[in-house]
Structure 1
Amino acid sequence: MKRILIILVLVLICTQIKAQRPMDWAFKLNLKDYNVKYSLPKGFSHLDSMISSYCRSDWSELFQYSLINTEGDIAIRFLMIPITPKTAEQLEYRKRLFNLSELFPPNQNYLRTIYFQLEADTTNRIAYYPKAYAKKTFNVDVAGEYDRECKIVYKGKFYKSKVVFLHKEDRMDCFIHYFYEEGKEEKVRETIAKTRGMFRLR
Structure 2
Amino acid sequence: MQTNNVLTRKVLVITSTLLLLHSIVYSQVDKYMNNCIKAYDLVYNKPAGFVEVYPELPYFAGNRIVPNAYIYELQSEKSDITICISVMDLASINDSAIIKFDPMADRNANFIRKIRLYADTLHDQNFFFPEKYVKHTFHASDAAIYKLNNTTSYRNKYPFCKVLSIHKKDKTDIEISYFYNESSKPYIKQCIKQTQEMLTFKE
Matched, 1:189 2:196: no
Matched, 1:141 2:161: no
- Report the alpha carbon displacement of residue 90 of structure 1 after superposing the two structures with TM: 4.4
CA pair 10-35 structure 1, distance change in 2 beyond 3 A? same
CA pair 167-187 structure 1, distance change in 2 beyond 3 A? same
The residue that corresponds to 2:111 in the other structure is: 110
- Report the alpha carbon displacement of residue 80 of structure 1 after superposing the two structures with TM: 1.2
CA pair 27-87 structure 1, distance change in 2 beyond 3 A? farther
CA pair 144-158 structure 1, distance change in 2 beyond 3 A? same
The residue that corresponds to 1:131 in the other structure is: 131
Corresponding letter in the other structure for 2:10:
I
1:29 to 19, 31, 35: 35
8 Å CA contact 1:141, 1:168 repeated in 2: yes
Corresponding letter in the other structure for 1:176:
I
d(CA) in 2 for partners of 1:137, 1:69: 24
Of 9-18 and 138-147, more deviation after overlay is shown by 9-18
1:91 to 98, 105, 116: 98
d(CA) in 2 for partners of 1:72, 1:63: 25
SS in 1 for 2:108: helix
8 Å CA contact 1:49, 1:63 repeated in 2: no
2:65 to 60, 64, 85: 60
Instruction: Count the aligned residue pairs.
Output: 193
TM superposition score normalised by structure 1: 0.82
The Cα RMSD (Å) is 2.6
Question: Between the two proteins, what is the percent identity of the paired residues?
Answer: 21
d(CA) in 2 for partners of 1:56, 1:143: 17
Q: Structure 1: any 5+ residue segments left out of the alignment?
A: none
Of 33-42 and 16-25, more deviation after overlay is shown by 16-25
8 Å CA contact 1:53, 1:154 repeated in 2: no
Once the two structures are superposed, residues 85-111 of structure 1 have per-residue CA deviations (whole angstroms, 9 ceiling, x without a partner) of: 643134335x2xxxx4x4232221212
CA pair 42-69 structure 1, distance change in 2 beyond 3 A? same
TM superposition score normalised by structure 2: 0.82
- Report the alpha carbon displacement of residue 54 of structure 1 after superposing the two structures with TM: 6.1
CA pair 80-53 structure 1, distance change in 2 beyond 3 A? closer
The residue that corresponds to 2:53 in the other structure is: 47
8 Å CA contact 2:52, 2:74 repeated in 1: yes
d(CA) in 2 for partners of 1:63, 1:86: 15
Q: Which structure has the larger Rg over C-alpha atoms? A: 2
8 Å CA contact 1:39, 1:199 repeated in 2: yes
The residue that corresponds to 1:3 in the other structure is: 9
d(CA) in 2 for partners of 1:125, 1:53: 23
Once the two structures are superposed, residues 159-202 of structure 1 have per-residue CA deviations (whole angstroms, 9 ceiling, x without a partner) of: 20111110111211111111111143331110111113311100
Q: Structure 2: any 5+ residue segments left out of the alignment?
A: 1-6
d(CA) in 1 for partners of 2:33, 2:70: 10
SS in 2 for 1:40: coil
The residue that corresponds to 1:151 in the other structure is: 151
